[in-house]
A and B are shown apart, each in its own frame.
Chain A
């Protein structure tokens, strides 16, 4: 399986992006999010409440950061986005016999609140690729993508570390220890 493995460390680093968002930050998409998730924080739906809390305008929930740059139904980023896959090492591992993938960690830090009207994009780099590891799921590699999110003034609004385990599942009867 792994004897043909290419040099994974050559996929470390890189500067991928920008990956842009289809819609500017807007009250309707924020309200739909809060509606579905049951979030009644008024700073997300009432501009006066947001300003009373010290913001310049209506703000989006910080945890919604990534939603502004999702590919959406059509499955692609809008024009002006990088067409390369930041996580291309996952495809390389897939072809090398590691078909499984599971998200392990997601760590978001928020540098400033995202406001109505903002135009969000992100850039990514591959921060780490582990040695081959054995877990309860199988044998594979932990890959961490670090994405930095910006507004239209190129100010950092936040960062996200997203770590996945790309693995070959244990065969039945195989020792999983």
Chain B
């Protein structure tokens, strides 16, 4: 595996896309791994009673998938400094989310890279936002 070096990264560089299949297993598994037992993340009847068609992904899982996406690209020696997300359409079972990202700023002296990203499902943007990474030296 090769990871981006700060002197080879430029604003406008695209990250490879990552497709995530949104399954009940991922929604429930992510909720439990993040210790989030709100019923809308595991109980379809409860979710429907509150006006949703089905259970949906919790925010911690979305954050975790974004973090994974960024460090998959940057490598294990990079440091994640910031993840700021805006939440949009829910991730329901049977959907598929495609994560994409782009470098928006590079500061070679501090090895800091700023990125924008989005995760799109069939309803639109599930998540969009910005992140800061410090790349390995």
Binding site for B on A (CB under 8 A): 29, 32-33, 35-43, 49, 52-54, 61-64, 66-67, 70-73, 75, 102-110, 113
Q: How far is the CB of A21 from chain B (nearest CB, A)?
A: 9
Q: Of the 9-residue stretches B6-14, B82-90, B118-126, which lies at the interface with chain A? A: B82-90
Q: How far is the CB of B17 from chain A (nearest CB, A)?
A: 15
Given contacts A37-B61, A53-B77, contact A67 B82 (CB under 8 A): no
User: Which residue in chain B gives the minimum CB-CB distance to A72?
Assistant: B35
Say yes or no: A37 contacts B64, CB within 8 Å. Answer: yes
Say yes or no: A36 contacts B29, CB within 8 Å. Answer: yes
Say yes or no: A110 contacts B33, CB within 8 Å. Answer: no
Given contacts A108-B82, A108-B84, A109-B82, contact A63 B66 (CB under 8 A): yes
Say yes or no: B30 contacts A36, CB within 8 Å. Answer: yes
Q: How far is the CB of B113 from chain A (nearest CB, A)?
A: 15
In the assembly, what is the distance between CA of A110 and CA of B77, in Å?
15
Given contacts A53-B76, A63-B63, A103-B87, contact A37 B30 (CB under 8 A): yes
In the assembly, what is the distance between CA of A64 and CA of B63, in Å?
8
Q: Which of B29, B37, B67, B76 contacts A63 (CB 8 A)?
A: B67
**A contacts with B: majority SS:** mixed
| Cβ contacts under 8 Å, B29 to chain A | 35-36
Q: Which of B64, B84, B136 contacts A61 (CB 8 A)?
A: B64
The 9 closest A-B pairs by CB, nearest first: A63-B67, A70-B35, A36-B29, A107-B84, A39-B68, A63-B63, A36-B33, A33-B33, A67-B34
A-B contact count (CB 8 A): 102
| Cβ contacts under 8 Å, B63 to chain A | 63, 66, 106, 108
Say yes or no: B64 contacts A49, CB within 8 Å. Answer: no
Q: Is B16 an interface residue when CB atoms closer than 8 A count as contact?
A: no
CB pairs A–B below 8 angstroms (28 shown)? A32-B32, A35-B33, A36-B26, A36-B29, A36-B33, A36-B61, A37-B68, A39-B67, A39-B68, A41-B71, A41-B72, A42-B76, A52-B77, A63-B63, A63-B83, A66-B63, A67-B60, A70-B36, A70-B60, A71-B35, A72-B37, A102-B87, A105-B86, A106-B59, A106-B85, A106-B87, A108-B63, A108-B82
Q: Is B80 an interface residue when CB atoms closer than 8 A count as contact?
A: yes
Say yes or no: B59 contacts A37, CB within 8 Å. Answer: no
Binding site for A on B (CB under 8 A): 20, 26, 29-30, 32-37, 59-61, 63-68, 71-72, 76-77, 79-87, 136
Q: How far is the CB of A81 from chain B (nearest CB, A)?
A: 15
| Cβ contacts under 8 Å, B59 to chain A | 103, 106
In the assembly, what is the distance between CA of A18 and CA of B63, in Å?
23
| Cβ contacts under 8 Å, A61 to chain B | 64, 67-68
| Cβ contacts under 8 Å, B30 to chain A | 36-37
| Cβ contacts under 8 Å, B68 to chain A | 37-39, 41, 61
In the assembly, what is the distance between CA of A35 and CA of B29, in Å?
9
